Amino acid sequence: MSFSADWLTLREPFDRRARNVAVLDAVASAFSRRPSVSVVDLACGTGSTLRALTERLPKTQAWRLVDNDLGLLARAASLAAPPTRTVSAVAIDLARDLEFALDGPIELVTTSALLDLVSQDWLERLVTEVAARGLPVYAALSYDGLATLDPVDPLDGAVIGAVNQHQRTDKGFGPALGPAAAATAPERFRAVGYAVNEGPSDWVFATKDADIQRDILNGWAAAAREMGGLSIDEIIGWLTRRHDLIAAGRSAMRVGHVDFFATPTGTR
């Protein structure tokens, strides 16, 4: 599955605003007494997690940015680095070579908007591999399946239902956890003795946030079409009504996400 740099750029300010501050504070506090930190960011895209976290970590930072999309990696690699921060961009297919991404002198694993794309098996692999290395994990922006549109349209429920079904299809890691990732991932880390600090990180789009609403709703319409439960006429009718509301400055949306920071406790 590919993600365009334009889409990641459009969503980044909303992701940034949505990231749970208490969870970010927990990450910062875990490293506040260290002189330096080495981070691997899994599925880095253009580097939004680095940008969200860098000011909260010790000044001396080494980032390994991992993705399998070379175009996104090239953008991430060109991040202007202050002298105290090194950034290396590494092309890895995480579905195949997760272990390779985690090897070496890593002290913190980060990721965002990834865990809803992965399968239960891949999540188990991640949990096993990071637990074996005793690494803390900051995972942001996992979709939780709860989306609301204002004003309500009679077909919203059916479209969102189809989107949630689509979220569970294979995104390159096997059948995806989709909305289940938000609850399952923290639970799996607790099961191996991690302490988990978690909180909501919902996208909240106001009436003025027209471009991102339009992009998301177009994507939802495409997902509903693929799932096949609604007719094309129903989907086009729904999308037209929603676009009209956006154009009239009357559409608002909330899309649920969860962030967590999981740290090994050594009790297992």
Which residues, listed in sequence order, are joined to residue 87 by a DSSP beta bridge? 63
Give the nearer residue to ligand SAM in terms of CB position, either 94 or 180.
94
CB of 66: closest distance to ligand SAM in angstroms? 6
Range in contact with ligand SAM (rule: CB under 6 A) among 55-63, 67-75, 239-247, 255-263: 67-75
Q: Kindly tell me which residue out of 18, 50, 61, 69 binds ligand SAM, with binding defined by CB under 6 A.
A: 69
Token pair 């709860």: residue: 146
Tokens of 147: 């989306």
Interaction residues for ligand SAM, span 86-105 (CB under 6 A): 93-95
Q: Kindly tell me which residue out of 54, 61, 112, 197 binds ligand SAM, with binding defined by CB under 6 A.
A: 112
Tell whether residue 114 is a contact of ligand SAM (CB under 6 A): yes
Q: Which one-letter amino acid corresponds to residue 167? A: Q
Contact 147, 160 (CB under 8 A): yes
Tell whether residue 129 is a contact of ligand SAM (CB under 6 A): no
CB of 73: closest distance to ligand SAM in angstroms? 8
Contact 115, 142 (CB under 8 A): yes
Q: Tally Cβ neighbours within 10 Å of residue 38.
A: 15
Interaction residues for ligand SAM, span 191-220 (CB under 6 A): none
Of 145, 107, 139, nearest to 223 by C-alpha is 145
Neighbouring C-alpha atoms within 13 Å toward the C-beta of 99: 6
Tell whether residue 44 is a contact of ligand SAM (CB under 6 A): yes
Contact 184, 222 (CB under 8 A): no
Interface residue list for ligand SAM (CB under 6 A): 1, 3, 8, 15, 43-45, 48-49, 67-69, 72, 93-95, 112-114, 172
